[in-house]
Structure 1
Amino acid sequence: MLVDVAPLRSSPAFAKLWTGTSIAQIGAQVTIVAVGLHVYELTQSTLAVSFVALWALGPMILAGFVGGALADTFDRRKVALATASCAWLSIGTMTVIAFLDVTAIWPYYALAAVNAASATILGATRGAILPRLLPTQLLPAAAALSGITMGLAITVGPAVAGVMVASVGVPWTYLLDVVLFSAAFIGILSLPPMRPEGTRASPGFSSVVESMRFLRTAPNVRATFIFDLVAMIFGNPRVVFPAAGALVLGGGPVTVGALTASFAAGALLSGIVSGPLGQVRRQGRAVTLSIAAFGVFTALFGAVLLTTMLVSGGHPPDGVIMPAIVLAGLALAGTGAADNVSAVFRTTILQAAAPDDVRGRMQGLFYVVVAGGPRVGDLLAGVLATTIALWAPALIGGVLIVAIMLMMLRFARGFQRYDALHPTP
């Protein structure tokens, strides 16, 4: 039942990369929560918090396509090192202007966009590297270990961010990410040279066109992107967390950290007991069912907010409403567990089915979807929360996700029959 740690024993390079990434991602999650709290503190606007995502979306999409081409053209170790340096510098600059008490919003938007674009290229390059470090049969276990990494990061990072913002302030919270992200360089520097195999791409528009041509002939790879977009666009109510902590559940920044950490706790727990996932052959069907479960738990979170608001008559709470926070946390833990299971299978399908000479570009598109989808979801959630109510993004979005996945079980039959023992794009 427990997670398979064979990838860590099989490849010392993978072990070092995984360790460095685990530490760095904690810092990244600290900053994500801190930026949201900082912008909300400066503007008192949930819509302004969602604009952090909007500013980052365009650069992230461009970075996904360009970064994937770079990873299919140059030494992937060097590409990872360069983009990690850029991400680290953007967080360092954000820390400096926060200590200088800069209250203009646009520098934080701009630096968050640079950081997100750099992280997209870094993630795409790292995803293209992993299948070169491990045999194919260990890729599901490696994906599960990555799920534990992210679960640990989202569990620890937001909780630490909420406490630090409330106690020592935003600038010191940003500085923590500067320190933690430095661990990423340890894993990257330990890698061997990693030039792409097969036909090497050219880092231009023709390379992007070529990758789109491949994607048209790869229905299983394409389905992993489409299914994840459905989940992330309609099931991502994190922008309502600051307002929910202040106006519905009580507790302010500490509640925001606890809600975000609950999602990660579910992902972490599902990763710890992920041993049986490596035996699943029908991985496309597993993706569909896990995203449907994600939708159910998302809707439950919205129902908790709606019920709490009805009971309180829409008035801000005088203190912390602990029963509602516990129920909301359990619902978010369910979404985290379901999302992690989906991610394990989607990652495995992509890495096993895509040839090495297009793997960087497919990983780039994967990170556009993984990172860009939630940002579109942030914007949609901000609009729904502003025009309807704070409960609307989760409740409406969760119901839509379940309905779409039930349709996919019936109509996307080729993806439902995908066989892990005979991976085809």
Structure 2
Amino acid sequence: MRARHLGMDLTPLRTCRDFRLVFVGSGVSSLGSFITYITIPFQVAELTDSPVMVGLLGLVELVPLLFMAFIGGALADFLDRRRLIIYGELAFTLLTAVLLVNAQRDEPHLWVLFVVAGVTTAIDGIQRPAMDSIIPRLVPPEQLAAAGALNSARMNIASLGGPALAGVLLASVGSTWIYAIDLATFAVSLACLAFVRAVPPPPAAERPSLRSVVTGLRYAKSRPELLGTYLVDINAMFFGMPQALYPFVAKNLGGPAVLGLLYAAPSAGALLATLTSRWTGRVHRHGLMVVLAAAAWGLAIVGFGVAAFGPDALTLGLLGDRDGYSGILWLALLFLVLAGAADMISGVFRSVIWNQTIPDRLRGRLAGIEMLSYSIGPTLGNVESGVAARFAGTGGSIVLGGVLCVLGTGALAAALPAFVRYDGREGLARKIAEDEAWAARVAGNALPETPAVTFTAT
């Protein structure tokens, strides 16, 4: 079947050399990173046998992210974005080497896993805004939608193949080989990035400063359609993200090999949604679609909990008779596939809203805010699900979280009517007008002076 029949446009890969290099390099390193992403919580679960400790990984990751995403966004609007990405890859390479050395010990240090998880998130906060905002500089405007779809497919393939491969490797060769493989993927990524041309900052770029960060925050706050995308997704992920419980769900459904399937199933659903996403171009009520997709995520998570632990998972967990129920693996995976598809649909429409409401001069800073919005929810959600599992059992935590996700989505929809009514046709026209006005100001040198307050080392 031709790619165009699946709604995929490969033009950016054929015509844009630098996009092709970034696509290949980041695709290979993402595959390795997802393998490591599964292995760290697995090691923590093996060392502690505690859902709370696995959930606390999320808290350790959240703290640096809260600061570094803002700094990374400001830097992406001021420096060569390609250089920021390369520095990030070099830092990830070093951190993976630390994990490799730690895994070779007879008894790996738990604190090393937590420190590396936190530092990795800090580096990601610097690199990710540059990665997200570099794409419009590598492809022409008419190919941005195709490039976005290709990047989504790349991430979905990596998040599908990485966990599945991690499950097989954990069950066969262990964590040492996993970290060695991840280390090799960064060599490929760095080789590709070395051939990408420099991506200098846009004209009249603002120097990284507290004022420039506040400018991005004020812009985000002024747009109810942006606030809606952030809050609805944070709610859905906070209550409905059971990822920290996957190692314990896997024990109930078959062991380490099942763990990879659990991580991979949502990505399979997301990839399926991406490959069949042509219909999204005919929908203009983008805010409403984000709300419906978030509610669908919550319902699918409820189904996952029931399939994995039985229809009485919530009530029995609350009564104290926790876990130990036989689950239906294929049905649990099906619900995770549906959840992943719903999350991808939400992501597609959130991305469209962002592209239609964010001026180019603020792209890096808003990319940092976007990163927080899609990271805070899952990060805190892992903590929440781990703590809830102590009181309601693993299955009860999953089911209760899905229910609260649906209820919270409904409450936010009622509180943000402007977001629900958002029409993409009006948003696109407004963004074009804003960009034209800014271009006219640049041409007339009517720009504000560079702020004096800058980030400094302490």
**Equivalent position to 1:16, from 16, 21, 33:** 21
* Aligned counterparts of 2:229 and 2:132: Cα–Cα separation in 1: 15
Provide the residue aligned with 2:158 in structure 1.
153
The higher relative CO (CA closer than 8 Å, separation ≥ 6) is in 1
RMSD: 2.3
Q: 1:342 Cα shift?
A: 1.1
Match for residue 260 of structure 1 among 260, 263, 267: 263
Aligned to 2:214: 209
Equivalent residues, number: 419
2:37 equivalent in structure 1: 32
**Structure 1 residue aligned with 2:455:** none
- Structure 1 match to 2:301: 298
Q: Aligned partners of 1:308, 1:24: CA distance in 2, in Å? A: 40
Counterpart residue identity of residue 360, structure 2: D
1:387-409 deviation per Cα after TM superposition (whole angstroms, max 9, x unaligned)? 21101332122222222333444
* Residues 89-128 of structure 1, C-alpha deviations (whole Å, 9 max, x = no match): 1111111221134532111110111112222322211111
Contact persistence 1:26–1:154 (CA under 8 A): yes
Return the offset for 1:262.
Answer: 1.0
Q: Distance in 1 between matches of 2:305 and 2:186?
A: 33
Structure 1 residue 222: Cα displacement: 2.4
Shift of 1:134: 3.2
Q: Deviations over 1:363-408 (max 9, x none)?
A: 1111122223211111001001112110133212222222233344
Does structure 2 retain, via aligned residues, the 8 Å contact 1:284–1:415? Answer: yes
For 1:345 and 1:132, the matched residues in 2 are separated by: 22
Q: Which whole-Å deviations, capped at 9, do the CAs of 1:333-384 have from their partners, x for residues lacking one?
A: 0011111111122123223321122111111111122223211111001001
- Listed one character per residue, the Cα deviations across residues 235-282 of structure 1 (whole Å, up to 9, x for unaligned) are 110111111122x22x21111111111111111111121222233322
Gaps of 5+ in 1: none
Q: Which AA in structure 2 matches 1:414?
A: A
Is structure 2 residue 257 aligned with structure 1 residue 278?
Answer: no
SS across alignment from 1:389: helix
**Match of 2:234, as an amino acid?**
L
Letter in 2 for 1:94: L
1:75 equivalent among 68, 75, 80: 80
Determine helix, strand or coil for the equivalent of 1:370: helix
Q: Could you tell me how far apart the structure 2 residues matched to 1:136 and 1:353 are?
A: 15
- Which residue does the alignment assign to 1:100? 105
Deviation at 1:284, TM superposition (A): 1.9
Does the CA-based 8 Å contact 1:147-1:343 persist in structure 2? no
Distance 1:345 1:7, change over 3 A: farther
Query: What is the correspondence of 1:59-208 to structure 2 with a 5 Å cutoff?
Result: 59-208=64-213
| Helix, strand or coil at the partner of 1:391 | helix
Shift in CA distance, 192/29, structure 1 to aligned 2, threshold 3 Å: same
CA distance in 2, matches of 1:9, 1:235: 39
Is the contact between residue 136 and residue 144 of structure 2 (CA under 8 Å) also seen in structure 1? yes
State the distance in 2 between where 1:230 and 1:186 align: 39
Quick one: distance in 2 between partners of 1:268 and 1:44? 32
Tell me the secondary structure at the aligned position of residue 109 of structure 2: coil
Following the alignment from structure 1 to structure 2, what is the Cα–Cα distance between the partners of residues 413 and 204?
34
Pair 102,202 (structure 1): closer, same or farther in 2 beyond 3 Å: farther
For residue 182 of structure 1, give the secondary structure of its aligned residue in structure 2: helix
Alpha-carbon distance between aligned partners in 2 of 1:329 and 1:58, rounded to the nearest angstrom: 31
Residue 257 of structure 2 aligns to a residue whose secondary structure is helix
Superposition deviation, residue 223 in structure 1 = 2.1
Q: Write the deviation string for residues 181-205 of structure 1: whole angstroms up to 9, x where unpaired.
A: 3333244334332223244222232
Judge conservation of contact 2:270–2:341 (CA < 8 Å) in 1.
Answer: yes
The 1:138–1:403 alpha-carbon spacing in structure 2 relative to 1, beyond 3 Å, is: farther
Q: 1:60 and 1:409, CA in 2 relative to 1: closer, same or farther beyond 3 A?
A: closer
- SS of 1:183's equivalent in the other structure is helix
Aligned residue in 2 for 1:362:
366
* % same residue: 32
Task: State the partner residue of 1:287.
Answer: 290
1:403 and 2:407 matched: yes
C-alpha separation between the residues in 2 aligned to 1:115 and 1:136? 32
Aligned match of 2:435: none
1:394 maps to amino acid = I
Structure 2, unmatched stretches of 5+, are: 432-458
Q: 1:346 aligns with which of 350, 356, 360?
A: 350
With 368-377 and 332-341 compared, the bigger mean Cα shift is at 368-377
Shift of 1:296: 1.2
Aligned to 2:239: 234
CA contact (8 A) 2:323 2:394 kept: no
